[in-house]
Structure 1
Amino acid sequence: METEIMLERTNTPTSPGERSVPAVVKAQVAKVGPGLAGPCLIAIFAIATTLCAPNPLAAEDADNVVLQGDGLLRTRSAYSVAETVERLRADIEGKGIMFFTAIDQGELGRGADIELPPSQLILFGNPPLGVLFLTSNPESGMDWPVRMLIHEDKAGAVWTVYQDWNWVAARYAIGDRQAEFAKATEVVASIVASVADCNPIADCTE
């Protein structure tokens, strides 16, 4: 028997810390059984996950997305924080991409008498690509230029943390830039690969 799926906006919360889910859709999906609820939600709203192809957000679905996770990818680096930053900068500039700045958060902490493990934030981007996101939704400027956080955890491992561009597309309900988001994903992955402690980078990415 077919199940009719209705799309409707609502501010109905689900559980603490979880973003709102359209109530009508959630009720309908529940009818297919708990084992299928997750995949159905993903398929309906075209959120990129391991079950879906990259950048599947369709323009007609752009206002009906459910964000899952924190939108961050974490790849272990083979180098110290300082060397990771230098290698990332060299790779970025070698690709002809603008490197805007590196902020040494550990140094800022020391200046405020706060102990912080090594941590740096870098900003970079390719305006002919990234500015297009802002033309679709100006608020996406909160996530562009591209940011990467390079930090050392308590165990001494160094991580490069960066945005999942499929998640960014969903966050700002951008459904008309699939090709551009795919390109951003490809370029960022190639940059991260220059410092990754594995090959392919998926083997050391969380």
Structure 2
Amino acid sequence: MSGHGMLTVASPWPVGVTIDRLETALTGAGLLVFARIDHAGNAARAGMELRPTELLIFGHPKGGTPLMQDRQTSGIDLPVKALAWQDEAGQTWLTYNEARWLADRHGLGAGSEQALAAIESGLAGLVQQAVTP
């Protein structure tokens, strides 16, 4: 499933396990995890209900810095993020931004192509590791 610059893949595990698996894949590949946000937990603390939803913010300066050197505005979309969420039927999904969407959104030039390609292929592989039994 994709659209609006996002890619979404099904996960056979609950949201928390999906994020755990993604975090393991990311750190195993040498990426840094900057934050993990439990949106459902935060909603519960505010007295509101939300199906399981967790955001992982991660990356590496070697990947993101070239994009910001090209167009500093790309820093608003970096580090990279992935959202695991449960739909109304109980299915878990993992959604992340397409690297090409970043290029289009920020008008990144040819100098960013190598970094974008590395982010795109690397992220796709790590997401597959996280959701493949």
Higher mean Cα deviation, 189-198 or 90-99?
Answer: 189-198
Larger Rg, first or second structure (1 or 2): 1
1:104 to 2:38 alignment: yes
Q: Percent identity over the alignment?
A: 31
Tell me which residue corresponds to 1:191: 126
- Kindly indicate whether residue 89 of structure 2 is the aligned counterpart of residue 155 of structure 1: yes
Structure 1 residues 87 and 194: alpha-carbon distance in aligned structure 2, compared to 1, 3 A threshold: same
Deviations 1:99-150 (A, max 9, x none): 1110000000001111000000110001111111001111101111000011
Q: How many positions carry a matched residue from both structures? A: 130
Q: Secondary structure at the match of 1:192?
A: helix
Given the superposition, is the C-alpha separation of residues 161 and 127 from structure 1 closer, same or farther in structure 2, using an over 3 Å criterion? same
For the residue of structure 2 that corresponds to 1:79, the secondary structure is coil
Counterpart selection for 1:128 from 44, 58, 62: 62
Aligned to 1:138: 72
> Where does residue 164 of structure 1 map in the other structure?
98
Q: Which whole-Å CA distance do the structure 2 matches of 1:189 and 1:141 have between them?
A: 21
Q: How far apart are the structure 1 equivalents of 2:126 and 2:57?
A: 13
Q: How does 1:29-108 map to 2 (within 5 A)?
A: 69-108=3-42
Contact 2:25 2:130 in 1 (8 A): no
CA distance in 2, matches of 1:119, 1:180: 29
Distance 2:46 2:63 in 1: 37
Alpha-carbon displacement from aligned partner over 1:142-184 (angstroms, at most 9, x marks no partner): 1110000110000111011101111110110002211111110
RMSD: 1.2
Bigger share in helix: 2
Structure 1 unaligned segments of length 5 or more: list them. 1-68, 199-206
Segments ≥4 residues shifted beyond 2 Å: 195-198
Greater RCO between the two (CA within 8 Å, min separation 6)? Answer: 2
The runs of 5 or more residues in structure 2 that have no matched partner are none
Instruction: Report the AA paired with residue 74 of structure 1.
Output: T
Q: Which amino acid aligns with 1:149?
A: L
The Cα offsets for residues 26-72 of structure 1, whole Å up to 9 and x where unpaired, read as xxxxxxxxxxxxxxxxxxxxxxxxxxxxxxxxxxxxxxxxxxx5111
Alignment TM-score, normalising by the size of structure 1: 0.61
Q: Which letter does structure 2 place at the counterpart of 1:126? A: H
Structure with the bigger percentage of strand: 2
One-letter identity of the residue aligned with 1:185: E
